[in-house]
């Protein structure tokens, strides 16, 4: 738990106004409530996204606030299993954009949305784009924690499993680092029954298996991909791996935010008239 002064929702309104005046970063965690195998709680994506944002704010040491976590996202393909609370894609985009618009209205100009659920990505990216279109005096960026290059590189040295996709070695390790008492590691399965093809495969921290082949996005119903809700090997997860992954993600996100603030502000130009 961070110092309350780093949580947006724990501040009084004059403190929020002052934080905006100081041009503090706003970090917005976005997760999902959905099945994560028999060993992890359904809040896995939300808990991980929030923890990564908290650690980022902690490392920034007073330069950032953590916004209230966006708890549920877009996950209709998981509805064959008990647990998911999925939001219609357009509702989710509008909901997220309304939050971003509110933060910008209050004076925050550097906002980063950090995602913890794969299928949130297109919706969150569009919400961020729309927020910038409507507010050209603010910068709103989006990423997922596993997209950090330092996380991918670290995973190459840590991982013992062939696939890290869902409720897997990576996510289970992260949850063990954040809240180990909520993980029933005795029920952690290894489930890699889904097909891996040159273009069609799912691996959060993996690279293409075949030279010169790029991934093609195709989201199938999760019940056709796995017997347990897990894609990967959760049995080799450890708290130590999770702590290292968490630190790597947060450290690089600090770099991302500082780069955002260093970008020059350039005015829009109406180029409908000939030069």
Is residue 81, in this structure, part of any structural domain at all? yes
Would the pLDDT of 180 be above 60? yes
Residue 154 lies in a domain: yes
So what's the pLDDT on residue 197? 82
Averaged pLDDT, 127-135:
98
Mean pLDDT of 170-184: 98
Q: How many distinct structural domains can be found in the chain?
A: 1
> Is 210 a domain residue?
yes
- Confidence band of 183 (pLDDT split at 50, 70, 90): very high
- Whether 27 maps to a domain, the answer reads yes
Are the C-beta atoms of residues 112 and 257 closer than 8 Å to each other?
yes
Residue 82 has pLDDT above 60, yes or no: yes
pLDDT for 248 equals 98
What is the mean pLDDT of the segment spanning 226-240?
Answer: 95
Domain that holds residue 131: 4-262
- List, edge to edge, every strand of the sheet that includes 64-66: 64-66, 25-30, 110-115, 139-144
- The overall average pLDDT reported for the chain is 94
In this predicted structure, what is the pLDDT of residue 274? 80
Spatial separation of the C-alpha atoms in residues 209 and 220, rounded to whole Å: 20
pLDDT at 67: 98
Domain annotation covers residue 222: yes
Q: What is the CA 164 to chain-centroid distance, rounded?
A: 15
Q: What's the pTM value of the predicted model, to 2 decimals?
A: 0.95
Once rounded to an integer, what is the mean pLDDT over residues 1-6?
Answer: 80
Phi, psi (rounded to 5 degrees) for 153:
-65, -40
Residue 1: what pLDDT? 57
Higher-confidence residue of 138 and 206: namely: 138
Give a yes or no: residue 271 inside a domain: no
Q: Is the pLDDT of residue 251 over 80?
A: yes
Question: Is residue 235 packed enough to be buried (19+ CB in 10 Å), middle (13-18) or exposed (0-12)?
Answer: middle
**Mean of pLDDT values over 234-256:** 98
Output the domain CATH number for residue 146.
Answer: 3.40.50.10310
With respect to residue 20, please indicate whether it lies within any of the assigned structural domains.
yes
pLDDT in the model for residue 273: 86
What's residue 254's pLDDT?
98
Q: Judge whether 33 lies within some domain.
A: yes
For residue 114, is pLDDT > 60? yes
- Cα–Cα distance measured from residue 92 to residue 69, given in angstroms and rounded to the nearest whole number: 13
pLDDT attached to residue 108: 98
> Picking from 16-20, 157-161, 240-244, which range would have the lowest pLDDT averaged per residue?
157-161
């Amino acid at each position: 738990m961070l110092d309350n002064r780093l949580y947006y929702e724990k501040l009084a309104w004059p403190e929020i106004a002052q934080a905006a005046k100081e041009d503090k970063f706003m970090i917005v965690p976005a997760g999902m409530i959905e099945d994560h195998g028999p060993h992890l709680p359904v809040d896995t994506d939300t808990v991980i996204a929030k923890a990564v944002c908290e650690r980022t704010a902690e490392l920034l040491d007073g330069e950032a606030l953590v916004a209230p976590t966006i708890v549920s996202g877009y996950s209709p393909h998981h509805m064959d299993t008990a647990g998911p609370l999925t939001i219609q894609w357009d509702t989710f985009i509008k909901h997220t954009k309304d939050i971003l618009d509110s933060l910008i209205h209050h004076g925050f100009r550097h906002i980063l949305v950090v995602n913890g659920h794969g299928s949130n990505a297109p919706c969150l990216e569009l919400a961020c784009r729309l927020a910038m279109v409507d507010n050209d005096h603010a910068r709103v960026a989006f990423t997922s924690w596993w997209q950090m290059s330092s996380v991918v590189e670290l995973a190459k040295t840590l991982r013992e499993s062939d696939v890290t996709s869902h409720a897997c070695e990576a996510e289970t390790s992260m949850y063990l680092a954040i809240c180990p008492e909520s993980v029933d590691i005795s029920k952690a399965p290894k489930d890699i029954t889904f097909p891996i093809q040159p273009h069609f495969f799912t691996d959060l921290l993996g690279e293409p298996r075949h030279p010169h082949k790029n991934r093609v996005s195709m989201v199938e119903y999760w019940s056709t991909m796995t017997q347990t809700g897990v894609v990967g090997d959760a049995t080799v997860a450890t708290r130590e791996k999770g702590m290292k992954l968490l630190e790597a993600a947060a450290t690089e996100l600090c770099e991302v935010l500082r780069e955002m603030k260093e970008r020059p502000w350039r005015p829009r130009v109406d180029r409908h008239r000939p030069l």
